[in-house]
Structure formats: structure tokens, C-alpha cells
Amino acid sequence: MISNTIKVLSAILLSLAILLPAEITLTYLNLNPIIEDYKKKLSTQIQTAKAQEMSLKESTITLTTPNIAVRFYINQLEPKIITDDLKTLLDNIRHPAYFNQRIKIYLNNYHTQSTTKIIYKKEKLKDILLLLKEKNEVAPIPAKFQYKNNRVTAFQIEKYGTGLDLEQMWQDIDKTLYQIKNKTRKGDYKIEIKLKPIKPEVTLADLNSFNIKELIASGESDFTGSIPARVHNIITASNKLNGVLIPQGKIFSFNAELGDISVSQGYKQSYIIKDGKTVLGDGGGVCQVSTTIFRAALNAGLPIIERQAHSYRVAYYENDSKPGLDATVFSPYVDLKFENNTSGAILIQTKVDTEQNKLYIYLYGKKDNRVVKLSPIKVWDITAPPEPLYIEDESLPIGTKKQIDFSAYGAKASFDYEVYKDNQIIFSKTFVSVYRPWQAVYLVNN
């Protein structure tokens, strides 16, 4: 009861002391033992702070990023644990101005732990930050879009950059320093620096009125094994398509966009299928481009209006796929057509990688949440090629054998193509390809 009364009285005196702290003294309580004990705690904490500061200076921090890790001694930051408030309290605890603190000490309501803090010099990490930025930061790339003579002549989709999240890094460093301080034990501590995206100043949507905002789909094919003339024709045909805009609601015709395929248009002679034979003809390799854009249109979920498979299986189109994903063209009889039924125009962009022997076709526009489902390709009725055919050709040197056509196994292939939007099917088709077994043909002069 007496103890509670004293505490209540002390609380009242504490309130009064806020108004007249220097004029009120406690003569009925002997606080000396408590004050002396508290002074010992203050002294101990000041000494502990010195040890903690030494542990800080002898510890290291390793900053890690996806591309580099940098280790440094915390001593480089010139860290200090501030104990000025503790020292002032220790020296003046009996002064009338510290009456409030004495009452709080008595009431076990005054904690010294909250009066120490760590300060350090962030600018000392300047060189390390420059190195981290150099190895990790990537500047954003603004979009480009120039339209001239019904064609996009300059195009670049925006690319987000990458930057260091320095605000989070400093928070993590602060947290780590206090962890070391509380442990009073030196060591090597690791901090993973997070990266954040940096938005470019100009986006594709800012630059055009065709509703072209993003990549909606792409197609690719592998032309490994092509002769130089065929590769040349792939590049030539791809360049013809690069920058083509397909207006909303229009049907894309491959033959119409490419136009005349001849030597006069920059093509070279390479192998083509004509009249049931493999022969040299202008533009051999153009079907690599039609096959690739067919695949892009499938991935975009566009309605395929017209498509025809090759007469026989061509190795180039099976470098990265089962048979059945090719599309042949032969103007003006055989074409590849698909419809742009999206909410805006579609821009075609092409890329030929001659080092990896890959052709890429990208379709840019505006996505509309359509979902494409392609079933696995079924292959059946595989038939062996006929025996090779040898044709006498006296124009060849005696003893010469020259292959002019190449064997291929026959087969049938099919896959289902379904396009959904808002859980409703908007287009479906089963693509069936019938490949004849193909005979190897040699010219000989025995």
C-alpha cells in the first residue's frame, strides 16, 4: 500500500515538475541508491558502445548484385556510436533540470538503450556505388516510330532500364550496422542489393495512332543447312516484309506484299519445288519466310485464311519442329493469307541471325486477351522414298554422278488450332499436311 501511494505521489510530483522542475525536490525519498546504480549502468553502456564501435570498424559488408559482389570494411564509412546524451545524463543526473529523468528512473520507465545511435558517412561509398552502377545499371531505351509512304521506316519498341534500389540499400546497411552493434561481434555480413526497373521517357503508345503498343506474338524457324544463295533470298524476302503495316480488319497476303520474286528484285537462284521437281529457280528460300510468318500468325491467334504445305518434307522446316508447321508459296497460285481481327494495326518486324541460322518475325500491335491453343502435331502414314532415279547425261564428264533431287520420307501430319477470347472460341481449324515420298535423282555419265 505504501509503495503504491509513493508511486502515485511521485507521478503527481512528476506532473508538477514539468511546470517548475527546478523548484521541486524530493526530500521524502532516498533516490541515491537508485541513482548510483543507474550511473553504473550508464557507465557500462558507454563502455559497451566503445566495444560495439570497434566491432563495427573491424567488420565487413559484402554488397551483392546479379553481376558483381563488392566487399568493404565498415571502417571506410567512419562509423560512430553517439553516446553524448548518455555522458551528459551521467554528469548531470543530480541537477534540478534532470528531475524528470530521476523520477522515471525510480518508476523503471527510463531506458538508456534508446539514447545511442550510429552515424556514418555515406559519401565514403561513392567509388563502390559507381562500380555497382557500372556493372548493373542499364539505361532505358525510348521508343521510335516513323511512318512514311505506307511503311514504318524506323521502329524501336521501348525497353525498360535497370537501376540500383539505393533507398532500400541504405535501409539494409542501417539495419546491418545495428545488428552488428547489438551482437558486439565482428564478422562479414552480406547485403543483396535489389534492382528496380526504370521506365523510358517515350513509349511506343506515345508515338503512333495505329494502336500499336506492344509485341503480341512472334515466330521463328531454323534454316541450318541452307546454301549461301538461299540465305541471301531469306534476307531479301525478310527485308521486304520488315516495316509492313497490316491495317485493322484487313487480310494479309504474302504474295501481294512480296511482289515479284525474280533476279531483277535482288533474288538469287536456289532450289525450289516446281512441277513436281526440285529445280533451281529465282527466290529459293522465300518459303522459309512464309513458314516463319505463318508460325507468328498462329501464335498471335489470327484467323488463317489460306495455307498450303509443301509437296514433300523439307529438312529446313524440321530443324526445330515436327512436320506440319510449314507454309509454301508460289505466286500467283499458292499464297499464305491471314486476317488482322485485332483492335488495331499490326506491324511486321523481321530479324535474320546468320550466325545461329535463325529467322525471327515479330508482330506488334495491341493484345486483347485472346488465348491460343495448339494441339501436339500428329504424324502418321510414314512411307519410305522410292529408289533413286539415275538419268544419263552425256554433257557431264565421264564417271561423274550429280545429285539434282533429294529423297524424303512421305507422311501425313495434322494439328488443331483454337483461339479463345473471353472464354469464347472465336476461330478454330485443323491443319492437315500431306507429304509425298520423294525420290532422289542423279545425273550420271558412265
DSSP 82: E
CA distance to 60, 265, 324, 368, per residue, from 128 (Å): 14, 56, 55, 45
- Spatial distance between the Cα atoms of 85 and 123, rounded to a whole number of angstroms: 26
**Domain range enclosing 54:** 2-136
Which H or E run includes 339?
strand 337-339
* Range of weakest confidence among 68-77, 91-100, 153-162, 281-290: 91-100
pLDDT at 25 over 70: no
Q: What is the pLDDT of residue 353?
A: 97
DSSP class per residue in 413-446: EEEEEEEEETTEEEEEEEEEEEE--B--EEEEE-
Q: What is the pLDDT of residue 91?
A: 66
Q: What SS3 class is residue 54? A: helix
- Spatial distance between the Cα atoms of 246 and 211, rounded to a whole number of angstroms: 12
- Domains held by the chain: number: 2
Assess whether 237 and 361 both reside in one domain. yes
Q: What is the pLDDT of residue 233?
A: 93
**Of the candidates 101, 136, 171, which is a domain's last residue?**
136
pLDDT (tens digit, 9 = 90+) per residue, 13-23? 555 555 444 44
Q: What is the pLDDT of residue 41?
A: 74
Assess whether 214 and 131 both reside in one domain. no
Can you say whether the dihedral through the CA atoms of 211, 212, 215, 216 is positive or negative?
positive
pLDDT at 79 over 50: yes
**Of the candidates 136, 153, 187, which is a domain's last residue?**
136
pLDDT at 113 over 50: no
200 in a domain, yes or no?
A: no
Q: What is the pLDDT of residue 23?
A: 45
pLDDT at 292 over 90: yes
CB atoms within 10 A of CB 364: 25
pLDDT (tens digit, 9 = 90+) per residue, 394-406? 888 998 998 877 8
Assess whether 375 and 255 both reside in one domain. yes
Assess whether 382 and 252 both reside in one domain. yes
Q: What is the pLDDT of residue 277?
A: 61
pLDDT (tens digit, 9 = 90+) per residue, 175-232? 988 888 887 677 889 999 989 999 988 888 888 888 898 999 999 999 998 888 899 9
Assess whether 99 and 215 both reside in one domain. no
Among 362, 359, 338, CA closest to 348: 362
DSSP class per residue in 94-124: TSGGGHHHHHHHHTT---GGGG-EEE--GGG
29 in a domain, yes or no?
A: yes
Q: What is the pLDDT of residue 10?
A: 57
Q: Quote the Cα angle for 345-368-305, to 5°.
A: 60
Assess whether 128 and 229 both reside in one domain. no
Q: What SS3 class is residue 19? A: helix
pLDDT (tens digit, 9 = 90+) per residue, 350-396? 999 999 999 999 999 999 999 999 999 999 999 999 999 898 888 88
Confidence of residue 234 (pLDDT cuts 50, 70, 90): very high
pLDDT at 429 over 90: yes
**Of the candidates 77, 112, 136, which is a domain's last residue?**
136
Q: Across residues 236-243, what is the average pLDDT?
A: 93
DSSP class per residue in 263-287: GGGT--EEEEEETTEEEEEETTTHH
Assess whether 92 and 215 both reside in one domain. no
Angle, in degrees to the nearest 10, between helices 32-58 and 99-106: 90
Select the more confidently predicted residue: 346 or 6.
Answer: 346
Assess whether 213 and 131 both reside in one domain. no
89 in a domain, yes or no?
A: yes
- Spatial distance between the Cα atoms of 241 and 260, rounded to a whole number of angstroms: 13
Q: Which residues pair with 361 in a beta bridge?
A: 219, 350
Q: How many CA atoms lie within 13 A of 57 on its CB side?
A: 11
355 in a domain, yes or no?
A: yes
The C-alpha cell that represents 68 in the structure block = 558483381
The amino acid occupying position 74 is I
Cα diameter, the chain: 134
The C-alpha cell that represents 1 in the structure block = 500500500
Q: What is the pLDDT of residue 319?
A: 92
pLDDT at 443 over 60: yes
Give exposure, 66-99, as e/b (b: 16+ Cβ within 10 Å). Answer: eeeebeeebebbebebebeebeebbeebeeeebb
* Range of weakest confidence among 122-131, 169-178, 236-245, 275-284: 275-284
pLDDT (tens digit, 9 = 90+) per residue, 298-338? 999 999 999 999 998 988 899 999 999 999 998 888 999 99
- Spatial distance between the Cα atoms of 53 and 181, rounded to a whole number of angstroms: 7
Confidence of residue 252 (pLDDT cuts 50, 70, 90): very high
Locate cell 525450289: which residue?
Answer: 272
Assess whether 131 and 226 both reside in one domain. no
DSSP 143: -
Q: Which residues pair with 70 in a beta bridge?
A: 63
Among 151, 324, 349, CA closest to 242: 349
